[in-house]
Amino acid sequence: MRSNRISICHFGIITFAILLSAGGARAQTPSPTPSPSPKSSSSSTLEKDFFKNILRDQKAIWTSPFHLHGRDARYLAPLGLGAAALIATDQRTGDEIAESSRPLNASRIISHAGSAYGVGAVAATFYLAGRAGHNDRARETGILGAEALIDSGIVVTVVKEITQRTRPTGGKSRSDFFDGGSSFPSGHSIEAWSLATIIANEYHDHAAVQIAAYGIASAVSVARFTGRNHYLSDVLVGSALGYGIGRYVYHTHHRKSSDAGGDEEEESFSRPKRLPAIEPLYNRRAHDYGVALAWSF
């Protein structure tokens, strides 16, 4: 009876976490937000509405499972099956990785990149550099990155309190849920992936930045497993949640005026036009014909 009850709880946990991550990931066409006027700063608006946006995010995230559609099954099903398979084999894979202590030191070092102060420092660097250099894209990256990190922190804290799964180093013989632990899902993974997704989307026109962002997030997730801090399923679900939250925050609050192209378009309102305007001239009485070139300074 206990085994059946635990299996049902595991299934409920998987379903709950996967629905949350899918609900965030599918937010690709959010309700339209008013476009800022050319004279307004989109980053200033995001700063002003920062905490309001977090409250709106939390409402959207926790209610997202109720707004899914049938087409979402194309990635919900593989993700759910993968998480279920990993949970079923977590104890075995955890025991196997425990036999080798070689990667532990490297794993601990890499894990720092996904810690709260690590990802927080990255978001703060983008924001401060953006303000100092008058770079709207970097500034927005810092703001949305911080927003995604706070959203992720709230979600992972709640899910950990619900699941209470023991860690691989918890001294337990089984990877039990509801046993006072804090292993499921991986907090480092959700934080690293939420920030990486913001950065990768903001710099969608720079392949190197995208590769670096997702590469570091992947390294953090793997390190949490090889360092025996989490089971594979903890890492998978944490990464999926972080990716979903990051995409939701970006697609909901991103302002096009902060893009590289948006900056140029916005500057065109105030920058002098160096190309001439060609205007035809025609005077019927004087029988004059010609072309005039006009510059705006």
Under a CB-based contact definition with an 8 Å cutoff, are residues 258 and 137 in contact? yes
Under a CB-based contact definition with an 8 Å cutoff, are residues 265 and 220 in contact? no
Q: Which of 153, 191, 147 is nearest to 46 (CA)?
A: 147
Scan for tokens 């070139």, then name that residue: 293
Residue 189 to residue 176: CA distance in whole angstroms? 20
146-168 residue pLDDT tens: 999 999 999 999 999 999 999 98
217-272 residue pLDDT tens: 999 999 999 988 999 999 999 999 999 999 999 999 998 777 764 444 333 333 34
> Quick one: which H or E segment has residue 63?
helix 50-63
Structure tokens belonging to residue 222:
């793997």
User: In which domain, by residue range, is 283 found?
Assistant: 2-296
Residue 90 to residue 172: CA distance in whole angstroms? 13
Residue 213 to residue 257: CA distance in whole angstroms? 23
Count of Cβ atoms closer than 10 Å to residue 16 Cβ: 14
DSSP state of 284: T
Judged against a pLDDT cut of 50, whether residue 276 lies above it is answered with: no
Residue 227 to residue 97: CA distance in whole angstroms? 9
The residue with greater pLDDT, 102 or 53, is: 53
| Number of domains the chain contains | 1
Count of Cβ atoms closer than 10 Å to residue 99 Cβ: 6
pTM of the model: 0.77
